[in-house]
Amino acid sequence: MGISLRSIIDRTLVHWARNDEAGGALAYVMAALIDVSRQRLRSGVEARFPSRAGASGLALLGGDRLIPRGRDETDAHYAARLRAWRYPRGHRIRGSVFGLLEQISEYFGGLSLWGIDRRGNRRARALDGAETSTKAYPWAWDTGSSTEWARQWVVIDGDGVFSALPDYGDGGLWGGALGTLGHCIGIGGASAQDWEAIRRLTRGQHRWLPAGVQGEWLVVGFDSTPPVPSTDWAKWGVVYDSGSYTYYLSARSADHRYVALRSALREYAGDSDWASRIATPLGTVHAPDSITTIMGDDTLFPETISVPRGDYEGDSTVFPATITLPDDGSFPQ
């Protein structure tokens, strides 16, 4: 704060005014109040500068500039990123895929990752920050036309950073009781809070995605092997009919994990492809390892569903039209 008024009382007041019996204590208190007001004013001005703001000020600046603080990021490093929001890149590249990739990489302390749209425009950011762009990269996540280009996927090379958790089941297998904060369902080394921070970069009025572009899925790999999607990847499962039995199998590669960048991708209102293969509203079909009862309808969620110990009959007036499914970055439930 520099020199305070209290520290110069001895040099500014006459001797008799410094005497406690003659008002010296009152002068000290008045000087202290002035010093507090000066410091409050100074702190308020400095709080807008990342290099001078404290931890609480950095949190406010980060929220205003839509730059989430990294998991283990120091105050100094975060302040440098907030300053860079003005120059040389920062806000200037918001609205580009490279801007989004930079923010995701910085959040995790440095990653190799790339973004891809439906037309095959691929933008990549290496671990050292080098950026490249290519066209006509093969990418067929679903049967949507390649002209529907305004959809963006992000692929993270998590080699050495993340790991695949064991099969979901016993909470002790993957590091804690079910529902414990700090864990997510399918990705070791990350929490559900981490992925929610990344989702926020792709949503809202001032997001980092290009204007009009819709975030789809974030794909996390563990061994630098890029995903090779097929048109079946639009859904978690795919119907396989052997002629004798009908199977419902996982559609996507088990070598990667998948985090939805928008909540609509996790909403389930039935699967008409699957329902069309069932003779009765709640027909029995053969799955690879057991007999499973599944029914779905894109327009009307079934009023009755099978649960492990019997049937559950919901109230048609309150039963939800859709339910929200978890993804690999969700909290355990």
Asked if residue 202 and residue 133 are part of one domain, the reply reads yes
Q: Which residues of 101-131 are buried (b: 16+ CB within 10 A; e: fewer)?
A: bbbbbbbbeebbbbbbbbbebbbbbeeeeee
CA distance 143 to 146: 9
pLDDT given at position 216: 94
Asked if residue 179 and residue 206 are part of one domain, the reply reads yes
* Residue 245 covered by a domain: yes
Final residue belonging to a domain, choices 260, 282, 312: 260
* Residue 52 covered by a domain: no
Contact 118, 149 (CB under 8 A): yes
Query: Within the chain, which residues score under 50 in pLDDT?
Result: 178-179, 278-286, 289, 291-298, 300-301
In terms of residue numbers, what domain contains 29? Answer: 6-46
Asked if residue 241 and residue 96 are part of one domain, the reply reads yes
pTM over 0.85: no
* Residue 75 covered by a domain: no
* Residue 69 covered by a domain: no
Asked if residue 276 and residue 241 are part of one domain, the reply reads no
Asked if residue 231 and residue 145 are part of one domain, the reply reads yes
Question: How do residues 92-109 score in pLDDT, each as one tens digit?
Answer: 777 889 999 999 999 999
Q: Which two structure tokens, joined as six digits, stand for 136? A: 């006509």
**Cβ atoms < 10 Å from Cβ of 233:** 19
Residue ranges of the alpha helices (H) in the chain? 9-12, 15-18, 24-46, 55-65, 75-83, 97-107, 192-201, 272-275
CA distance 55 to 288: 54
CA distance 165 to 178: 14
Asked if residue 157 and residue 26 are part of one domain, the reply reads no
CA distance 258 to 236: 10
pLDDT given at position 84: 84
Asked if residue 106 and residue 227 are part of one domain, the reply reads yes
Asked if residue 192 and residue 157 are part of one domain, the reply reads yes
pLDDT given at position 45: 74
Contact 171, 325 (CB under 8 A): no
Asked if residue 195 and residue 282 are part of one domain, the reply reads no
- Single out the residue of 193, 253, 208 nearest to residue 229, CA to CA: 253
The residues, ordered by sequence, that sit 6+ positions from 287 with a Cβ below 8 Å of its Cβ are 247, 248
Pairing relation of β-strands 112-117 and 122-125? Answer: antiparallel
* Residue 86 covered by a domain: no
Contact 154, 101 (CB under 8 A): yes
pLDDT given at position 169: 55
Asked if residue 247 and residue 137 are part of one domain, the reply reads yes
Final residue belonging to a domain, choices 215, 232, 260: 260
How many helices (H) and strands (E) would you count in the chain? 8, 16
Identify the burial level of 95 via C-beta atoms within 10 angstroms of its C-beta, where 0-12 means exposed, 13-18 middle and 19 or more buried. Answer: middle
Query: How far is CA 62 from each of CA 9, 79, 112, 228, rounded to the nearest angstrom?
Result: 41, 9, 23, 36
pLDDT given at position 180: 53
Asked if residue 12 and residue 136 are part of one domain, the reply reads no
* Residue 183 covered by a domain: yes
Per-position DSSP letters for 85-132, written without gaps between them: TTTTSGGGGTTSHHHHHHHHHHHTTS-EEEEEETT--EEEE-TTS-EE
* Residue 74 covered by a domain: no
Asked if residue 110 and residue 242 are part of one domain, the reply reads yes
Phi and psi angles of residue 275, each rounded to the nearest 5 degrees, phi first: -65, -35
* Residue 81 covered by a domain: no
pLDDT given at position 168: 55
Question: How do residues 22-36 score in pLDDT, each as one tens digit?
Answer: 567 777 788 888 888
The count of domains in the chain is 3
Give the torsion sign (CA, 197, 203, 206, 210): positive
